[in-house]
Amino acid sequence: MNELSQEQRTAFEAAAFRRLVTHLRERSDVQNIDLMNLAGFCRNCLSNWYREAAEASGVAMSKEESREIVYGMPYDEWRERYQKDASVEQKAAFERNRPKA
């Protein structure tokens, strides 16, 4: 593999992040609980990581602001438009898969 400069690495990571966010916005049919059950993270996790990175760099950001960046709209609006009630099976899978404290 070619050695990447820090600038290239950051640019490629940013491009991959933007593509992931675009993909998640386009796939509003995929529920967060499905993502959690299959991958162990969801849109909310991604928005939390974004906010944590901003705050680590000294940029204050609210939960609502970071969620709007990931969802492409206010979170409450996304929930109203796209979120469905989780099925009994989805809830059971979530309980089986979630990390134990």
Query: Which CATH number is 37's domain given?
Result: 1.10.3340.10
CA distance 59 to 78: 25
Q: What is the dihedral of CA 21, 26, 32, 37, to 10 degrees?
A: -90
The pair of three-digit structure tokens given for residue 2, joined into one six-digit string? 């070619």
The pair of three-digit structure tokens given for residue 85, joined into one six-digit string? 């009630």
Domain presence at residue 101? no
Name the domain count of the chain.
1
Domain presence at residue 44? yes
Q: What is the pLDDT along the chain (101 residues), one digit of tens a residue?
A: 689 999 999 999 999 999 999 999 999 999 999 999 999 999 999 999 999 999 999 999 999 999 999 999 999 999 999 999 999 999 999 999 877 76
